[in-house]
A and B are shown apart, each in its own frame.
Chain A
Amino acid sequence: MDRVIPGNAGLAPNGVALARKLAKTRLTVALVLSVTMIVIYFGFMALFAFDKPLLGTILMPGLSLCIVLGPLVIISSFVLCLVYVLWANRVLDAGIRDLR
């Protein structure tokens, strides 16, 4: 009958709505970035699994398509991490500070 929900401990009344909004934003950003990473990586892996000849195209002596795309996947993972860290430092942390 009486559910105990200690979820708002420590927040001002209007903070609850703000916190929910911030939590939702964080989740959205995290999910979008994760899905981007998953799409990039499994796109690459799908090429590797299902279309090896395409991935093995020689672009110039000493350079095949896979040697270009492989490091690009790695670089994209760095870039996505950078995006998240910058976003978290600028937006998320500021939002959390405002909540306090």
Chain B
Amino acid sequence: MGSSTLSIGFFFAFMALTLGITYWAARRTRTTEHFFAAGGQVTPWQNGWALAGDFLSAAALLGIAGIVTSNGFDGMIYSIGWLVGWPIILFLIVEPLRNVGRFTFADVVAYRLRQRPVRVAGAVGTLAVILFYLIAQMVATGSLIKLLFGLPYTWSVVVVGSVMLVYVLFGGMLATTWVQVVKAALLMGGGILLAFLVLTHFDMNPLKLFAAASEKYGTKVLQPGSKVVSGQWDAISLGLGLMFGTAAMPHVLMRAYTVKDAKARGCRSSMPPADRRVSSHGLHHRLWRHGPGRRRRGGQGRRWRQHGRAPARAHRRRQRVLRLHLRGRVRDHARRRRRADAVGRRHALSRRLDQCDPERRRFRGRAAQGRARRNRRDFHVRHHAWHCLRRPERRLHGGPRVLDRLRRELPLARALDHLAPLHAPAAVASILVGTLSSLVLIYLSPTIQVDILGKPLAAIEHQWWFVSLRNPAIISMPLSFAVAILLSLVTREKNANLAFDEMQRRILLGPVQPTTSESARAKSAA
């Protein structure tokens, strides 16, 4: 009676506290940004605790304790596997994710690939993961409620589900964050307290605890067994799933967006639109450095090399030649081209961002303008080239210039193709193949066929479809990567490489203030 009343009291106190937090958070949530990412207002420490809360589910405290109790050391495999996923998240995923996307990983994939199919595939993958993750959580919590209150199991699950929905729907990310902080503090406090209380029985010496356990249950408790994972490759596969699965948990990844990042903000504010002009010069310099001078024959090239300032000289010389010999239309063309170049680049960036960001969709009209401008600019270049070929006096100077451009840019295009060959169909297929193959393989594995459907192992062992692995990661992960690589080699996507450079830059420096439209919006909001 006593302990049951105590646990029911704790339960209601926790519910009251968390629902109070939800109410408080719901009153503070105003915008989409607030709802999905807590307005980016969570401090790193809070976020760290919230991550710990996300991660330390009941499974960490009760589940692993249970596995260790019943199977000895094997239970540790789970806790180790979950933990080693974290460094992978930190090293490879969080920073690029935080700097490129806005709310979810799909933002990142959709950043440089065709938006709609990639997002749909991302949603399918995420929902599949969340669904199966949630099933386990709901079953566990439902059983717990049933144990505490004696409610029928079905109703326990319904109650738990509704409370979860209240947290998320009303409180958004802010409430979820604080509920997780409370949960993490309680779980860690409880865990440490329990460990301390247990150790007081053994002179605070874990070795004595282990020795006592092995005395009572045999040394098997301290040795790896084969109850949790039976097969050899199954164990490796479980390891893959634990390490890289943790690194792909949607609810963990989305925490990357709730932190306010002073660094990113600093980058953003120091990125005035005026810099764009400088930057286009930077691009040209880079192109020039690889381009002329070296390939020219005769004394000029040698002199440039001696002086070591070929690019600037080439630039100036080209400008002078243009001014002297190609007055009138060609000069106008050049000027218009430069202007169009800058405008087009700005619009390409803006269009890319429009595609990524649902909130910016309404600027699509501007994007169309950008496309039109780019078409016009391309027309100018083609027009110019045609004139150069047709009129000998222009062929002399303009022709080499256009051809030079072509020669300079083609290797760059090829290099980009090598660097960034992922295309939308490949990304979509890879996500879907990964998700579906995992589901199908689990369905065909003994976990479902024998443990749940109750078929005798001997009867299905020789079927062609039988998969002996209980953990599918070792098959589905390479399969998914292989599909992505193969399809990327086969298909072509027109614009996939355009945003790759920008994405690389963002990964390093954080988001830019992209167009005047957004700064205008920010101003009007202020």
Contact = CB atoms under 8 A, between A and B. Distances in A.
B80 A70 contact: yes
A66 B73 contact: yes
B297 to A, nearest CB: 26
Nearest to B231: A49
Given A5-B501, A19-B505, A45 B374 contact: no
Contacts, number: 209
Nearest to A63: B207
Contact of B210 (A5, A23, A62, A73): A62
Contacts of B86: 77, 81
Contact residue range for chain A? Answer: 35 or more
A37 B84 contact: yes
B382 A1 contact: yes
Contact of A34 (B91, B236, B271): B91
A10 B512 contact: yes
B378 A8 contact: no
Looking at chain B's contact residues, the main secondary structure is helix
Interface string A25-44: 01001110110011011101
Contacts of A81: 86-87, 90
Given A19-B508, A66-B222, A100-B266, A9 B236 contact: no
A5 B346 CA distance: 10
A94 to B, nearest CB: 11
Q: Which 7 A-B pairs have the closest CB atoms?
A: A7-B501, A62-B211, A56-B223, A62-B210, A49-B235, A45-B239, A13-B282
Interface of A: 1-13, 15-17, 19, 22-23, 26, 29-31, 33-34, 37-38, 40-42, 44-46, 48-50, 52, 55-56, 58, 60-64, 66-67, 70, 73-74, 77, 80-81, 84-85, 93, 96, 99-100
Interface of B: 73, 76-77, 79-81, 83-84, 86-88, 90-92, 95, 207-214, 219, 222-226, 229, 232-236, 238-239, 243, 263, 266-267, 270-271, 275-276, 278-283, 285-286, 341, 344-346, 348-349, 352, 374, 377-378, 381-382, 405-406, 409, 412-413, 416, 497-502, 504-505, 507-509, 512
